[in-house]
């Protein structure tokens, strides 16, 4: 297996563990199964369990645990639900895994202000279920039923981001435990502020390397009167990207615009027993008033026709919508079923939308030439797309081929004035692209890391070597 640092740490954390044990008693687990369970994530990278796991009950416990770890230079890895993709939850240098799943209270809904404050273990589905009678919803949907804390850590986004933004746009304030075990607040519930440095945005996407998030205040949005969903097909990926670009350029407030390439559509047909045309396909969704959705759909229809697309059909019925999105939501297992014995290597990149068609086409060609199977799906309204490479990880040549493909995609996206990851984060898997993407800005980032975590206890080996 590649990429992740393969050497297990030799550092002895027994003093820290003894102190943690004295503090938390039997609730500190050093059981191997528990540790392995907390290192298992959706990544293809080698699993590296922590030395101990604590299921935290409240912020004070998190602060106590972090303070003990800081004293003894023991790494701290915060765990949500284990849905990260780049090895963010591995413990390459050992350490304490703080499981946040029981810190899952929804603390305060302020429907007048469209805000909610939650603990980090709340999942996005739990939150939306809780909100179901309020007329409000939390729009960020990265696919997995991730925890809000995890979504903060990786700056998650997903299908609705084209309209509602990413985690950086919907988080108002955080409560964070610092490396020395202090509890701080990074903001207020005011919609905007010009008072000092934006610690909220600094924490979002820092993958647990700058602090441990213990509370999150989020913006909510009203569920619109009407939601319309549709599907359409294109002769080529380029034509589908062209239609996407025109949609964005016209500032149509589209809520979702998702590309599936032909292989992905085939996979979905097989997996979900569907009869979609096996062509590059866009799934779209419109949010608005009834008249507004009608208007958006009409404009979109014109764009589809202009770009040589066909069969645009949409519906505002909830059942029809659910059926439609079912296929999209199952894209991941559907792809895996193309080669069930293989491991899935999910990677993503993001480019300016004018370069999207080119980036997707070159990537598809590259995958084909490498002899790999790799369906492409994308949140194309943001210029963001995913490749799911199906890799026999027992075959080192194949692993190398896959890694090289990911490397070329990262470089391709960066060269197009884009980024090596739009939403999965850096973790362990993409550390090697940081310097190429950020140049000397890496020095500034590392200076911040060192200032806020001088003992390098916060999720070491992630983002940075």
Q: Does 292 bind a second copy (CB under 8 A)?
A: yes
Nearest CA to 306 out of 349, 367, 243, 363 is that of 243
- The answer to the question of residue 215 lying near a second copy (CB under 8 A) is no
Question: Is there binding between residue 373 and a second copy (CB under 8 A)?
Answer: no
Q: Pick the stretch among 16-24, 288-296, 326-334, 385-393 that binds a second copy (CB under 8 A).
A: 288-296
CB of 177 to a second copy, least distance (A): 11
Selection from 407, 408, 259, 419 nearest residue 351 by Cα = 419
Instruction: Select the residue interacting with a second copy from 34, 36, 330, 354 (CB under 8 A).
Output: 354
Residues 14-43 that bind a second copy (CB under 8 A): none
Does residue number 424 form part of the binding site for a second copy (CB under 8 A)? yes
313 contacts a second copy (rule: CB under 8 A): no
Nearer to a second copy, 66 or 231 (CB): 66
Shortest Cβ distance from residue 99 to a second copy (Å)? 23
Our finding on whether 197 is near a second copy (CB under 8 A) is yes
Dihedral over alpha carbons 144, 147, 153, 157 (to 10 degrees): 40
Cα-based distances in Å from 163 to 160, 184, 218, 243, 308: 6, 31, 16, 17, 25
The token pair that represents 397 in the structure block = 């040549």
Choice between 110 and 310, CB closer to a second copy: 110
199 binds a second copy (CB under 8 A): yes
The strand pairing partners of 231, in sequence order, are: 283, 313
Long-range contacts of 4-12 (CB under 8 A, 24+ apart): 4/45, 4/46, 4/48, 4/87, 4/90, 4/92, 4/428, 4/429, 5/92, 5/428, 5/461, 5/465, 6/46, 7/92, 8/48, 8/92, 8/94, 9/92, 9/93, 9/94, 11/73, 11/93, 11/94
Query: Of 41-49, 109-117, 265-273, 393-401, which part binds a second copy (CB under 8 A)?
Result: 109-117
Residue 457 sits in the site that holds a second copy (CB under 8 A):
no
Nearest to residue 54, comparing CAs of 219, 177, 224, 198?
Answer: 177
Please identify which residue in 10, 192, 341, 369 interacts with a second copy, judged by CB under 8 A: 192
Name which of 34 and 361 has its Cβ closer to a second copy. Answer: 361
383 interacts with a second copy by CB under 8 A: yes
**Stretch binding a second copy (CB under 8 A), from 45-53, 190-198, 273-281, 305-313:** 190-198
């Amino acid at each position: 297996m590649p990429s992740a640092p393969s050497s297990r740490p030799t550092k002895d954390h027994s003093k820290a563990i003894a102190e943690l044990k004295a503090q938390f008693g039997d609730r500190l687990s050093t059981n191997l199964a528990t540790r392995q369970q907390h290192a298992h994530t959706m990544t293809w990278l080698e699993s590296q369990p922590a030395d101990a796991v604590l299921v935290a009950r409240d912020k004070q416990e998190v602060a106590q645990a972090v303070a003990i770890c800081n004293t003894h230079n023991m790494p701290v890895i915060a765990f949500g639900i284990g849905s990260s993709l780049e090895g963010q939850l591995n413990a390459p240098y050992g350490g304490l895994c703080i499981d946040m799943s029981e810190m899952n209270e929804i603390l305060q809904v302020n429907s007048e202000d469209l805000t909610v404050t939650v603990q980090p273990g709340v999942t996005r589905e739990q939150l939306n279920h809780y909100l179901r009678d309020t007329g409000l919803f939390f729009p960020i949907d990265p696919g997995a039923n991730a925890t809000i804390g995890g979504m903060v850590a990786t700056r998650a986004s997903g299908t609705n981001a084209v309209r509602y933004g990413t985690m950086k746009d919907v988080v108002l304030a955080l409560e964070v435990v610092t490396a020395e075990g202090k509890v701080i607040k990074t903001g207020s519930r005011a919609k905007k502020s010009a008072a000092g440095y934006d610690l909220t945005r600094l924490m979002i996407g820092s993958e647990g390397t700058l602090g441990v998030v213990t509370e999150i205040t989020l913006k909510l949005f009203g569920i619109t009167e009407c939601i319309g969903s549709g599907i359409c097909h294109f002769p080529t990926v380029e034509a589908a990207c062209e239609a996407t670009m025109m949609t964005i350029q016209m500032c149509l407030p589209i809520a979702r615009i998702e590309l599936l390439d032909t292989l992905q559509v085939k996979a979905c047909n097989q997996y979900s027993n569907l009869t979609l045309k096996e062509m590059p396909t866009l799934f779209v969704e419109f949010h608005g008033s009834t008249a507004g959705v009608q208007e958006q759909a009409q404009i979109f229809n014109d764009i589809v026709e202009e770009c040589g697309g066909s069969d645009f059909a949409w519906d505002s019925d909830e059942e029809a919508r659910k059926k439609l999105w079912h296929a999209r939501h199952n894209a991941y297992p559907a792809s895996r079923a193309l080669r069930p014995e293989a491991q899935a290597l999910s990677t993503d990149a993001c480019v300016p939308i004018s370069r999207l068609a080119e980036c997707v086409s070159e990537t598809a060609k590259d995958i084909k030439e490498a002899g790999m199977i790799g369906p492409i799906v994308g949140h194309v309204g943001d210029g963001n797309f995913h490749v799911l490479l199906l890799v026999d990880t027992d075959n080192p040549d194949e692993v190398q081929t896959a890694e090289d493909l990911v490397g070329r995609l990262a470089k391709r996206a960066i060269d197009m004035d884009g980024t090596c990851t739009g939403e999965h984060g850096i973790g362990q898997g993409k550390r090697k692209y940081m310097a190429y993407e950020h140049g000397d800005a890496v020095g500034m980032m590392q200076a911040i890391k060192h200032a806020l975590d001088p003992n390098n206890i916060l999720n070491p080996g992630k983002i940075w070597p």
